[in-house]
Structure 1
Amino acid sequence: MKTLIVIPARYASTRYPGKPLVALTGATGQSRTLIERSWRAAMDVRGVDRVVVATDDDRIRDVAEGVGAEVVMTSASCRNGTERCAEAHDALGGGYDIVVNLQGDAPLTPAWFIEDLVAGLSATPSCEVATPVLRCDGRMLNSLIEDRRAGRVGGTTAVFGEGGRALYFSKEVIPFTGTVYADADETPVFHHVGVYAYRRAALSAYPGWHPGPLEGLEGLEQLRFLEQGRAVLCVEVQARGRQFWELNNPEDVARIETMLAAMGAP
């Protein structure tokens, strides 16, 4: 299947304006912007035909092109990354069987997350969209809970049923466990990894659907598919010893830099 990765990036983030241009220092002391690190993560994925950054901001375009990324300019009217991916796909002439949305705030996304995601969607013709989920250990779950107690959105959790069919996604920590887990414990909570793979038809239809109440309340774009009765596949991925976190808030910068250093990323 012909596969495209789109990295949607906007400057005017509500929670963290200018986030794609935030500098992150790696293990060697080298500073690279968030958008560059996300693009480099995408370029490591095998079996992909093309990688583009999609933005409506000249500053992001200039920085991305400056490190060698291909950029597609999209309109400022895109309400979320999925709509921006749909517009970018159209601007490129369409024709890709699977379009991957690697959000520009996830530079720690391992290549195998996306490779497993594409393979999972390809093998499940009954689903139109797929997204990775990562089983939380005690340390990750405690971080999610601590963020919520502090009034921060530290990540999204997912619950799914038979065959990995998504039931719901939330910025709250679900399901409720009532248990305190030690650092090394496996938990029944799954962290939603903010990456999506869409079949062409589902992505093209998405911008024409009116956002539903759940999407509006949670601020989660994938809920539009569920509210439209579309099947979303949750693909469990393995950390393989790697830590994963998304840059949601300014407080996450230090956490991600610590993780970059631990994995030896330049």
Structure 2
Amino acid sequence: MTSRNEDPVSRHPQPDFPAQDQPHPGWTGPMDPPPDHGETSYEGIGLLEGKAAVITGGDSGIGRAVALAFAREGADVLITHLPEERADADTTVGLIVDAGRKGVALSCDLREEEQCREVVDLALTQFGRLDILVNNAAYQMSQPDGIGAIDTEQFDRVLKTNLYAMFWLSRMALEYLPAGGSIINTSSVQAYKPSPHLLDYAMTKAAIVNFTQGLAQMVASKGIRVNAVAPGPVWTPLIPATLPDTTEFGKQSPLGRPAQPAEMAPAYVFLASQRASYITAEVVNATGGTPLP
């Protein structure tokens, strides 16, 4: 248990961090300091008891923290990951199982429509139902040399990972989500305050906000809620794998540090639970104090 009055500024490590970089997609183990996913702190109270969830990009970072929290709240969880992320995915599944729930990991490429279909089909096969979809998988690559450095291959990968997969999975999941079901998308502070070196990534995060708000209105009459979380800087493997310098990462936030993945998970739990039954088409901004519209 953490102190009820713990100072949010000093609660987690503050930059400057040791210099570090990894090849994409990045892994949890080499990160210094190690990310906190809530392994020793998150305590569930049954908010998602009996639910079944799919979380894309669930092997590490925000996805792992959400998977852990969902499981400790009573949900069975299927996560997706890239083939190179198998070790991290196995760790996440272990956390789900340790919480007494069923955990499944699927290696796939969400840029392929048929593989998105396999995600939904496997969840239904393994759990017999689907109640929650978390569209969290994302790709970014810093290009400080500007738009001319963003080639078509990168642009295509960013859009297909961040937007196409979200669209396909949402459309497919809606065939099975019951009244009371929930879709939660991961946007970003970049949707509102784009960094020039992340131009293509920021563009997709803004589109996710628009998609969330539009789809929420489309399916509200079916009793299905659609919301998003917009994190600020979060200490995940994607950071050393895609940014040229991580030593001061998160220092620009008013709290003076990046978030840990564990600090994002409660927002997803709330939005997935019946406690948020009148909340749809909303974006929860978890930015460490950066004001957003």
**TM-score for the superposition, normalised by structure 1:** 0.39
Whose strand proportion is higher, 1 or 2? Answer: 1
Structure with more of its chain in helix, by fraction = 2
TM-score with structure 2 setting the length: 0.36
